[in-house]
C-alpha cells in the first residue's frame, strides 16, 4: 500500500470509527450529519446504542428530494467503484440486478457509465423488489452454473431479500451478493456486521475495509460461490470504499478456483474399473456447470455405458434422451459410477451446503433441512437393491477431465469395438423404453383432455411440439402443475428444467424465470414459465423487469385461483375435526374478486391474452406467445386451469 | 397386504353388502350437488369434472362410488377416524358438516361425470409427442 493510500485508509478508518459509534448522537434533536459523526462519546450509552434513530430532516430530504449525495472525495477521478466493475468484468459477470439504493449508488454509477462499453458486463438490471433481484440471480445461476450479482441496499435490502437468499443457499445456487453499507447516512439502514443477518444461510461473507481488500473480496467471493459447495456469498462494500480515489492502483488479475478432483492414480484405477466392466452404468446427479455435463456425456460415450439422469427434476444433469440414457439392454450392471449421486459402486460426491451448515449457522438456528440428522434405522435391503459401495468426497465435475484422460489411454481398438457394439444395443433398448414410456404416459395425460377449466397435462402436451425445435428452458417449478414435462418433453440441455424452489418457498418462480430470461436473451433461448397464480402475487414486478429488459419469457398462468395446496390442507383439517369443509376456502383462495393476470401484465408492459378456459384455444395462443418471446418481447397467457 | 389392497377389500365388501335394489338414498339432486362439490372443496383433489388432480373419480371403477351407501360410509369414516385405512389426504366429512341429503346431492353430481379421454390416435399433438420420443438424440438439440 502506498503512503498516500495508507493515509487515505487511516482517515477513512478514523471516520468509520466516529460514524459507527455515532448512532446515539443522531437520535438527538436534529443534529446535522457532520455533527452526528463528530459526537462519539454519547454513543457509549447502551440504551442509546440499541435505539433505532429515525431519519433526521436532512436525511429525509436526501431520501425524498433532489438533494445531491454528499461527496466525501469530490475530486475523485478514478473511483474505487470503477475498479470493482473491472473486477466483475474480469470474472465474466454479465448482470447486476438491483432495486436501487443509496448505499451502492457509487457502484451503480460505475456500472452504468464506466468503461468503453458502459453498462455491459455487468449490465444493470432494474428490479422492483430485492427478492426479485436475488431470485433472478437464482434463475440465472441455475441455468448457467455461474454467478451474477445481486446488489442490495444495507439492512433493508438484505432483509427484503432474505428469503430468496435462503432459498439459494438450500439450492446451492452460485451468486455474488453485494450489500452496500453507508454508515454515514440513515443509521437504520446500516449495521456493523451487515452480513450477520444472513450468515446462517450464506456460504461465505466479507466486509473489506480498503479498496484492495474489496477487490480481493469480490474475487474470493466469486471463487467461493463457484466452488463446491456452490452457493450465495455476500460482500459488504462501504460507500467510502466505493467512492474513494483509486489513484494508480492496478486491478489484480483474477485467478479461477482450483477445485480438487481425483488424482491421476485414483483416476486410472477408476478408469480401469469402468473399462473392464461388461455392463457399466453411470448415474448422473446435478453437476456444477454445463462443461461438467458435456464431460459426463463424453465419458458415457467413451465407455458405452448406460446412464441415468436427474434432468427432469433439475438443472445440470445428463441429457435424458441421449442414446445412453435409460435402463440399457440389460440391468445387471456390474459396475456403477455415481456422479454427484449415490449409492453406487463408486460415487464421486463433492461437499454439499449441508456440510458447511454447522460452521455458518453461528446462531444455532438449525434450519430443518440442514440439521445433522440421526442415522435412520437400518432397514433390510430389498433383493435387487442398488449396490452401496465407496463414496469419494471429491467434486465429480473436477474429477471428470482426469477420468476421461485415463479412459482414453486405456482404450484399445479391441475395446472400442466391444464398446461400440454395447452402445448400439443400449441405444436401441433405451429408445424402445423411451417410446413405450411416453406412450404409456399419453394414455394417462389424455384424461380430461377437453375439460374446462383446462387440464394441466394438456398445457404441457400442447406446448411440446411448438417448442421442441426451439432452444428452450423450463425455468418455473413444475410440481404444482403436475410436472407433466417429465414424461412428455426431452430434457437434453443442462438448463432444460431448473427445478423446484430449493427450500419450497413460494414467490420464487416469477423472479427465477426473469433471471433465466437474462441468460436466454443473450443466447437466443426462450423461457417457458408455467406460472402459478399464488407465486406470481408475491413480487409481480418481475413482469416489469421482463418488459423493461426485453426478456424472452413466456408466462402461462396456472390460474387455479388459490394457494391450492393450502386449500387442500385446510379442507383436510376441517374434515378431520368434523367441521365445515365449506369454509376451508377462507384465507386459501384468490376469489372475490378474481385477479385478471392479462391486465396485470398489461399494466407492467407485458403483452398477453386470456383468461382462456377453452382448451381448444391454447395452441393458437401458445403460438402467438412463442412468436412474441422469440422477438424479445415477454408474453403472458392467462389460463384458467384445473386445480391440479 | 398393502393399504390399497385393504381399501379395495373393505369397499368391495361394503358394495356387496349394500347390493340389491335401488335405494331411496340415490335421489340426490346433481344441480345442487355441483354447487356443494365446489363449496366443500371436492374439486380440489378430483378436478372440476372428476378427471384430473390427485385422484380421478371417473374411469377408475372405484367401488367407493359404486353405491350411495358405500359413498356415505366412506365420507364419514375417512381421515384419521378409521385406523385400518388412515388417510392424510381425503378429508372426513362429518354428518354435521355435510348432512346425508347434501352428500347424496354430491353423489348424484359425481355420477353425471363422463370419462373424457379421447383415443391417443385421435389427438394430433399426442402423435407428435410420440414421434418426438422416437427421434434420435442430437447433441445440442
| Terminal Cα-to-Cα distance of chain A (whole angstroms) | 63
ipTM of model over 0.90: no
CB contact under 8 A, A448 and B47: yes
Q: What pTM value is reported for the model?
A: 0.89
**Domain locations in chain B as residue ranges:** 3-116
Exposed, middle or buried: residue A618 (CB in 10 Å: 0-12, 13-18, 19+)? Answer: buried
C-alpha closest to that of A150 among A171, A120, A129: A129
| Terminal Cα-to-Cα distance of chain B (whole angstroms) | 46
The yes-or-no verdict on residue B99 having pLDDT over 90 is: yes
The yes-or-no verdict on residue A429 having pLDDT over 60 is: yes
Task: Determine if the peptide bond prior to B73 is cis (ω within 30°).
Answer: no
Which B-chain residues 40-59 have CB contacts (< 8 A) with chain A? 40-41, 43-45, 47-49, 51-54, 56, 59
Exposed, middle or buried: residue A74 (CB in 10 Å: 0-12, 13-18, 19+)? Answer: exposed
* Contacting residues of A for B91, CB less than 8 Å apart: 571-576, 581
Task: Determine if the peptide bond prior to A198 is cis (ω within 30°).
Answer: no
| Nearest CB to A448 within list B54, B116, B128 | B116
**Residue A440's Cα: distance from chain center in Å?**
34
The answer to whether A283 and A120 have CB atoms below 8 angstroms apart is no
pLDDT digits (tens, 9 = 90+) for A311-330: 999 999 999 999 999 999 99
- The pLDDT assigned to A575 comes to 87
Domains of chain A with bracketed CATH = 3-64 (no CATH), 80-243 (3.40.50.970), 264-361+384-437 (3.40.50.1220), 446-640 (3.40.50.970)
Q: Is the dihedral of CA A459, A464, A470, A476 positive or negative?
A: positive
Indicate the SS3 state at residue A174: coil
The chain-wide mean pLDDT, for chain B, equals 82
Q: Enumerate the β-bridge partners of residue A589.
A: A562
- The pLDDT assigned to A217 comes to 98
CB contact under 8 A, B47 and A642: yes
The yes-or-no verdict on residue B72 having pLDDT over 80 is: yes
Which B-chain residues 63-92 have CB contacts (< 8 A) with chain A? 78-81, 88-92
The answer to whether A264 and A127 have CB atoms below 8 angstroms apart is no
Say how far apart CA B15 and CA B70 lie, in whole Å.
Answer: 6
The yes-or-no verdict on residue A26 having pLDDT over 50 is: no
- The pLDDT assigned to A576 comes to 83
The 3-class secondary structure across A103-130, one letter per residue, is: HHHHHHHHHHHCCCCCCCCCEEEECCCH
CB contact under 8 A, B53 and A644: yes
Instruction: Name the residue in chain A with its Cα closest to that of B113.
Output: A448
Say how far apart CA A248 and CA B138 lie, in whole Å.
Answer: 52
Give the mean model confidence (pLDDT) for residues B122-136.
96
CB under 8 Å to A104, separation ≥6 — which residues?
A98, A151, A152, A153, A178, A180, A237, A239, A242
The yes-or-no verdict on residue A635 having pLDDT over 90 is: yes
A328: left (phi over 0), alpha (psi -120 to 50) or beta: left
Say how far apart CA A625 and CA A622 lie, in whole Å.
Answer: 5
Question: Quick one: fold of B3-116?
Answer: Cytochrome Bc1 Complex; Chain D, domain 2 (1.10.760)
Report which of residues A543 and B139 the model is more confident about: A543
pLDDT above 70: percentage of residues in chain A: 86
Backbone angles phi, psi at A616, to 5 degrees: -65, -15
The answer to whether A139 and A512 have CB atoms below 8 angstroms apart is yes
C-alpha closest to that of B116 among A143, A642, A137: A642
CB contact under 8 A, A571 and B136: no
- The pLDDT assigned to A450 comes to 97
Backbone angles phi, psi at A544, to 5 degrees: -65, -40
Amino acid at each position: 500500500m502506498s503512503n498516500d493510500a495508507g493515509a487515505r485508509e487511516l482517515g477513512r478508518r478514523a471516520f468509520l470509527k466516529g460514524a459507527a459509534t455515532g448512532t446515539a448522537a443522531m437520535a438527538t434533536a436534529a443534529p446535522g450529519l457532520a455533527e452526528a459523526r463528530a459526537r462519539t462519546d454519547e454513543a457509549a450509552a447502551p440504551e442509546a446504542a440499541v435505539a433505532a434513530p429515525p431519519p433526521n430532516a436532512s436525511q429525509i430530504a436526501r431520501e425524498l428530494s433532489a438533494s445531491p449525495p454528499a461527496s466525501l472525495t469530490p475530486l475523485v477521478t478514478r473511483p474505487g467503484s470503477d475498479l470493482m466493475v473491472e473486477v466483475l468484468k474480469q470474472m465474466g459477470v454479465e448482470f447486476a440486478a438491483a432495486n436501487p439504493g443509496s448505499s451502492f449508488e457509487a457502484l451503480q454509477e460505475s456500472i452504468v457509465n464506466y468503461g468503453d462499453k458502459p453498462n455491459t458486463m455487468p449490465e444493470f438490471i432494474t428490479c422492483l423488489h430485492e427478492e426479485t433481484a436475488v431470485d433472478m440471480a437464482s434463475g440465472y445461476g441455475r441455468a448457467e452454473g455461474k454467478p451474477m450479482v445481486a446488489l442490495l441496499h444495507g439492512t433493508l435490502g438484505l432483509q427484503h431479500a432474505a428469503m430468496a437468499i435462503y432459498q439459494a443457499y438450500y439450492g446451492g445456487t452460485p451468486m455474488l451478493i453485494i450489500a452496500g453499507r453507508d454508515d454515514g447516512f440513515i443509521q437504520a439502514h446500516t449495521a456493523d456486521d451487515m452480513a450477520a443477518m444472513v450468515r446462517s444461510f450464506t456460504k461465505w461473507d466479507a466486509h473489506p475495509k480498503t479498496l484492495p481488500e474489496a477487490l480481493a473480496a469480490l474475487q474470493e467471493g466469486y471463487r467461493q460461490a463457484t466452488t463446491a459447495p456452490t452457493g450465495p456469498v455476500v460482500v459488504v462494500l462501504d460507500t467510502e470504499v466505493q467512492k474513494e480515489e483509486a489513484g494508480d492502483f492496478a486491478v489484480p488479475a483474477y485467478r479461477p478456483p482450483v477445485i480438487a478432483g481425483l488424482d491421476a492414480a485414483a483416476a486410472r484405477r477408476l478408469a480401469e474399473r469402468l473399462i473392464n466392466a461388461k455392463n457399466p452404468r453411470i448415474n448422473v446427479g446435478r453437476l456444477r456447470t454445463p462443461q461438467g455435463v458435456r464431460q459426463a456425456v463424453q465419458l458415457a460415450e467413451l465407455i458405452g455405458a448406460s446412464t441415468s439422469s436427474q434432468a427432469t427434476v433439475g438443472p445440470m444433469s445428463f441429457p435424458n434422451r441421449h442414446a445412453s440414457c435409460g435402463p440399457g439392454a440389460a440391468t445387471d450392471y456390474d459396475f456403477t459410477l455415481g456422479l454427484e449421486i449415490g449409492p453406487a459402486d463408486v460415487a464421486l460426491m463433492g461437499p454439499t451446503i449441508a456440510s458447511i451448515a454447522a460452521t455458518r449457522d453461528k446462531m444455532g438456528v438449525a434450519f430443518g433441512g440442514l440439521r445433522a440428522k440421526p442415522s435412520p434405522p437400518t432397514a433390510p435391503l430389498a433383493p435387487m437393491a442398488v449396490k452401496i459401495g465407496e463414496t469419494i468426497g471429491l467434486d465429480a465435475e473436477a474429477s471428470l477431465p482426469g477420468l476421461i484422460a485415463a479412459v482414453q489411454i486405456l482404450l484399445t481398438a479391441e475395446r472400442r469395438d466391444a464398446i461400440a457394439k454395447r452402445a448400439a444395443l443400449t441405444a436401441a433398448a433405451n429408445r424402445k423404453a423411451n417410446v413405450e414410456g411416453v406412450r404409456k404416459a399419453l394414455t394417462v395425460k389424455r384424461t380430461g383432455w377437453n375439460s374446462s377449466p383446462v387440464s394441466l397435462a394438456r398445457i404441457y402436451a400442447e406446448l411440446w411440439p411448438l417448442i421442441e425445435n426451439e432452444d428452450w428452458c423450463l425455468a418455473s417449478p413444475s410440481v404444482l402443475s403436475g410436472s407433466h414435462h417429465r414424461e412428455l418433453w426431452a430434457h437434453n440441455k443442462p438448463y432444460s428444467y431448473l427445478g423446484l424452489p430449493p427450500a419450497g418457498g413460494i414467490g420464487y418462480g416469477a423472479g427465477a424465470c426473469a433471471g433465466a430470461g437474462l441468460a436466454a436473451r443473450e443466447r437466443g433461448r426462450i423461457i417457458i414459465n408455467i406460472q402459478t397464480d399464488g407465486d406470481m402475487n408475491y413480487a409481480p414486478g418481475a413482469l416489469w423487469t421482463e418488459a423493461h429488459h426485453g426478456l424472452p419469457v413466456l408466462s402461462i398462468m396456472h390460474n387455479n385461483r388459490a394457494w391450492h395446496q393450502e386449500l387442500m390442507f385446510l379442507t383436510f383439517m376441517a374434515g378431520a375435526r368434523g367441521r365445515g369443509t365449506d369454509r376451508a376456502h377462507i384465507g386459501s383462495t384468490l376469489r372475490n374478486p378474481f385477479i385478471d393476470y392479462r391486465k396485470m401484465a398489461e399494466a407492467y408492459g407485458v403483452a398477453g391474452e386470456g383468461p382462456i378456459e377453452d382448451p381448444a384455444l391454447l395452441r393458437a395462443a401458445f403460438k402467438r406467445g412463442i412468436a412474441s418471446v422469440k422477438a424479445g418481447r415477454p408474453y403472458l397467457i392467462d389460463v384458467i386451469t384445473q386445480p391440479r | 397386504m398393502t393399504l390399497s389392497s385393504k381399501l379395495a377389500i373393505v369397499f368391495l365388501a361394503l358394495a356387496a353388502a349394500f347390493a340389491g335394489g335401488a335405494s331411496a338414498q340415490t335421489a340426490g339432486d346433481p344441480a345442487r350437488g355441483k354447487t356443494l362439490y365446489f363449496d366443500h372443496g371436492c374439486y380440489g383433489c378430483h378436478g372440476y369434472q372428476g378427471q384430473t388432480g390427485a385422484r380421478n373419480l371417473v374411469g377408475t371403477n372405484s367401488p367407493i362410488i359404486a353405491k350411495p351407501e358405500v359413498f356415505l360410509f366412506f365420507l364419514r369414516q375417512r381421515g384419521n377416524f378409521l385406523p385400518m385405512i388412515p388417510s392424510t389426504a381425503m378429508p372426513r366429512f362429518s354428518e354435521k358438516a355435510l348432512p346425508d341429503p347434501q352428500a347424496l346431492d354430491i353423489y348424484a353430481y359425481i355420477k353425471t361425470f363422463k370419462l373424457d379421454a379421447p383415443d391417443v390416435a385421435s389427438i394430433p399433438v399426442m402423435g407428435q409427442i410420440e414421434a418426438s420420443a422416437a427421434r434420435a438424440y442430437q447433441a445440442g438439440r
